[in-house]
Amino acid sequence: MNATAPALIPPFRFSTVQQGLYRGSYPTLKNFRFLRRLGLKTVVSVIPEPPTSDLADFCGNEKITLHHFYAEKFTSDNVTVSPATAAQILEIVVQQCNLPLYIHCLDGANVTGIVVMVLRKLQNWTKLATVSEFCRFTRDHGVEKDESEYLAVFSEEIVVTADAPQWLWNGVRVTKHPTMIVHQPDLELAAANSLDAAGNPNNGAPNLKWETEVEKTEAILRQFEEASRNRIGDAVEGSEEVETIIEEALQDLPLTRSLEALDLAGTLFWSGGAFESREELHLPIDMASTMPHNDADANSNAATNGEEHLTKTEAAAAATATSAMFVFTADKAGMKDVDKQHVQEVVHKMSKDSNFYQKSLRDNEKVEQRVAAMREKLATLTPTQQLRLQQEVDARVVQLEASRDLSHTVVVVDMDMFYAAVEMRDNPKLRDIPLAVGGLNMISTTNYAARKHGVRAAMPGFIGKELCPELHFVPVDMPKYQRVAAEIRAVFADYDPGFEAFSVDEACLDLTEFVAKNWHQYAADAGLSMEDESKDSGEEEDSGLVETLTTARREAIASAIVREIRQKIFDCTQLTASAGIAVNVMLAKICSDMNKPNGQYTLSFTRESVLEFIRDLPVRKICGVGKVTEKVLNEALDIHTGGDLFAQREKIFHIFTEKTAVWLLQTSLAARERRERTERKSFSRERTFRSLNDPQQLKTKCKEICVMLAKDLEKADKAAKNVAFVYKNTDFARASRSVSLASAVFTADDLYANAVELLRRELPLTLRLMGVRASSLVSRRHGTSTLTNVVQDLNCADSKKRQLVIKKFAEHIPETPVVMSSKSVDSDEERNGI
């Protein structure tokens, strides 16, 4: 009698989406034989937790690539798959090399259905057909309003390569998608190479014609790097010799001499993504001698490149658009009298043909679409809905006012032009000239003489050189700045041992306890009489420890203490600091910029003063509000100040998510909840560098980063059970891959072993930024077991104990790593859900 063959059991809700593309629920052991028959190359898990070891082992044994994308379990309240995640999944799905592919969520219904709906949109299906298919797999055979709106407004950019399956567009390549942003690098390159400068077919002209300035710039970059790489590598340090090398490299380019002007330098660094690390030395050269700046040269360049001159009106419009896309066009201390229009026009001119600018345009287009969607949603707000919202929001206002805390004394200390100030201190010749710390590709900070010309931190150095031809560069010396920072932090610790360092040159101190305990010794400096203070305050005592102060006197005492802090910093470093004093961190941070340089500002500790201050404050000055949020608030709701923010509060709750709306309401009242000091949740290190694609060089960079990260973990006595590899490619797209570990790691070798494996899986890559992040932190003492302990236990005489040790040690051997992919969060705005 023949044995019955095991049944082929498909996962729940299994179905074929397209040839080689399948969907369903989370597969279990009983489904693996069925899946094996499909000959899968890829499995995409869209679930809240990493896949189980059973699924990971199955994929490993079958040589199937397993991708995990985080998404909460479906709820009827909102769509749990972010648009960015859906876009990443689609880019995997529409590559033939990844098929056959099985995509699943927990139950194979709504979460998977969202991804398939977006795929159908990419395939140009009608909305009716798309939603009808979606409803076939949902529990109630219906679609939620949020799901329908998600499909309608989905606008993430999708990259479709030449490897797209034939079923995507029935074998036809769509050059312009009607409803989505589709980027097809191979078609764009082919189009550029198939035409000559006059727009006619190019019958084999090799590589001296380009369709766009971007293509031309990239060609120049490749040839320039090839011509100069070996020369610079063999050069002896010294500005004159390096200048000669650069000049010789430029001579090797098969281009007219006019292309060697400043436009070349500008587009060269932008398009190549050639941003060095802030911790690496920059070439100490003045490129002005090899790159002319006069009007005749500029006109010659424009004529040679075939560029059309913009009218003043067009230039102004382009500059205005530029201001919304680049952070380095925003104000900074010392830039009050700068001609903003001129700065924006220069930035536009110097970057308009770069990859970064093109990405900024795409990002800006997404913001425009978002603003348009918000306006449409706002138009649906009825008077009845508005009244109901206003009542609900006003109830929140009452709660916020009831919980407003005015009892704390918070100070934010910000060093003035820190890197530049250190260099000027060490070299007095730099004090009276425009100075930038960094290089031609990126500026870390500038002094006030440079800021008068509009040159500031985060700006590419070649743009700074155009704004201020006499700008002098010095390389970044991070070890020196960290030594100075340690001296400054020692001063902070005397006043608040638990102070929070925002960066190497900025920190927040809570002086509440220090003021209460030590106010007597500062009364004279604050202009107070001990007798008057005792009489006016009533000197109520709580167990003989805490003495109360009137609000005005508390402000005066705090001001005196902060003056002392700033003086001590100057005494030990010869550097000046500015400070802001207020009742919470948000306000103190804003105030620290009010009297720069070498000043301080105290915002009165009363509710009336706080509300008056925030009412007239531009929204861009508020911590967490960047260029994107400012644009959305300006254009969708005509909000420009904190007062506008409060006046439009019910509309904010109508068009933003609840989390964002609550945050904006708290901001409009300057009543953000006080941040509790909690243990750090992660450590990370990142480096930027010239574009690299050599695997060995990338691995070397990864090793350097892991060494630095291991030192950070050692200082904190922490180990990590999750390691992430973070990177940014030459298109400025940022992403991360992470792995969860059974045992915590902390050594440089262990961090590198995990990080380099994540890197290896992504190769080939061309990168301009790399980072490693350690999270899921545990104490070293309790979260790890040393090899010495294990050996000692294994050598003991008790056989039962040895077996227990062996079993426990085996349990801690990591399973096949589960790689998790995600778009990284780059800004406070995105962290706040804005």
- The tokens for 93 are 């799905």
Give catalytic residues, as residue numbers.
Answer: 506
- What is the DSSP code (8-state) at residue 428? G
Question: Residue 65: how many CB atoms within 10 A of its CB?
Answer: 17
The DSSP line for 541-558 is EETTTEE---HHHHHHHH
Separation between Cα atoms, residue 558 and residue 549, nearest integer Å: 11
Contact 592, 414 (CB under 8 A): yes
Closest CA to 450 of 351, 334, 349: 334
Question: In what side-by-side order are the strands of the sheet with 472-474?
Answer: 443-446, 435-438, 472-474
For β-strands 410-415 and 506-510, DSSP reports them as antiparallel
Separation between Cα atoms, residue 159 and residue 120, nearest integer Å: 15
Separation between Cα atoms, residue 130 and residue 152, nearest integer Å: 11
The DSSP line for 245-295 is HHHHHHHTSSS-GGGGSHHHHHHHHHHHT----TTSPPP---GGGTS--SH
Separation between Cα atoms, residue 255 and residue 220, nearest integer Å: 9
Separation between Cα atoms, residue 823 and residue 471, nearest integer Å: 37
Contact 662, 679 (CB under 8 A): no
Closest CA to 431 of 460, 380, 474, 482: 474
Q: In this structure, what is the dihedral angle of CA atoms 641, 646, 649, 651, given to the nearest 10 degrees?
A: -40
Q: Which residues partner with 317 through β-bridges?
A: none
Separation between Cα atoms, residue 460 and residue 417, nearest integer Å: 17
Amino acid at 286: D
Residue 422, class by beta-carbon neighbours within 10 Å (0-12 exposed, 13-18 middle, 19+ buried)?
buried
Question: In what side-by-side order are the strands of the sheet with 500-503?
Answer: 500-503, 506-510, 410-415, 577-582, 600-602
